[in-house]
Amino acid sequence: MISRLPLDEQLDRLRETLSRNEVLTEVLARAATLSLPGWYVTAGCLFQTVWNVATGRPPTSGIKDYDVFYFDAGDLSWEAEDAVIKAGRGVFSGLPAEVEIRNEARVHLWYQDKFGVACRPYESTEAAIDSFAATTCCLGVRTEADGTWRVYAPHGLSDVFNLVVRPNPVLAPRSVYEAKAARWREQWPELTVLEWPSANTTDFSAGG
């Protein structure tokens, strides 16, 4: 099993698997030209590519968009983020997929209105990735200037390779997790979806 390989071999296998998605590799290459601070391609386009390859589907199957996160706390105005989004439209034009660009330094300004719970300001793109509704989603990749891949995976890669969806109850409410998991199960019925922890369950997210 891939999840039992040494970590360096898991990372090699991850890159090999993600590279089968030619849209993803093109998004990575083009995103690098924007020189966004702390940027990553993240979330569904990554782990869903792994799921597709693992289950024999086309690498791009069921992937609705490609998320590019960056972190710029120097200007929290919508106008500044919108300027980056507009620049991205030109960079990513012609791709057979939607690319969404978001400044994670601004998330706390709109998160409560959208999801009903408050979000403290993030300190980095990595902190934003840490708060995804499922630990399986907590994955980011970018290409460095020398062509190497930087991978951020705070919960490791075992669940990603094993098609396990595990809740991450640190920010997003239970309803968000369950809605996402249900949608993913429709597309990838091979998934194992773990239940949201009950109130009397020890909070594993606190560590220690």
Distance CA 80, CA 75 (A): 7
Instruction: Please report the sign of the dihedral spanned by the C-alpha atoms of residue 100, residue 57, residue 186, residue 135.
Output: negative
Q: Evaluate whether 17 touches 103 at the Cβ level (below 8 Å).
A: no
Q: How crowded is residue 208: how many other Cβ atoms within 10 Å of its Cβ?
A: 2
pLDDT, tens digit only, all 208 positions of the chain: 565 666 678 899 999 999 999 999 999 999 999 999 999 999 999 999 999 999 999 999 999 999 999 999 999 999 999 999 999 999 999 999 999 999 999 999 999 998 888 999 999 999 999 999 999 999 999 999 888 899 999 999 999 999 999 999 999 899 999 999 999 999 999 999 999 998 644 443 333 3
Distance CA 71, CA 39 (A): 7
Rounded to 10°, the helix 7-18/44-54 angle is 90
Residue 86's identity, in one-letter code, is K
Its pTM stands at 0.89
Give every CB contact of residue 110 below 8 A, 6+ residues apart in sequence. none
- Report the pLDDT value the prediction gives residue 146, as an integer from 0 to 100: 87
- Report the pLDDT value the prediction gives residue 10, as an integer from 0 to 100: 86
Residue 21's identity, in one-letter code, is N
Distance CA 70, CA 129 (A): 11
- Report the pLDDT value the prediction gives residue 205, as an integer from 0 to 100: 37
Distance CA 184, CA 172 (A): 17
Distance CA 27, CA 29 (A): 5
Q: Which two tokens stand for residue 28?
A: 């990575």
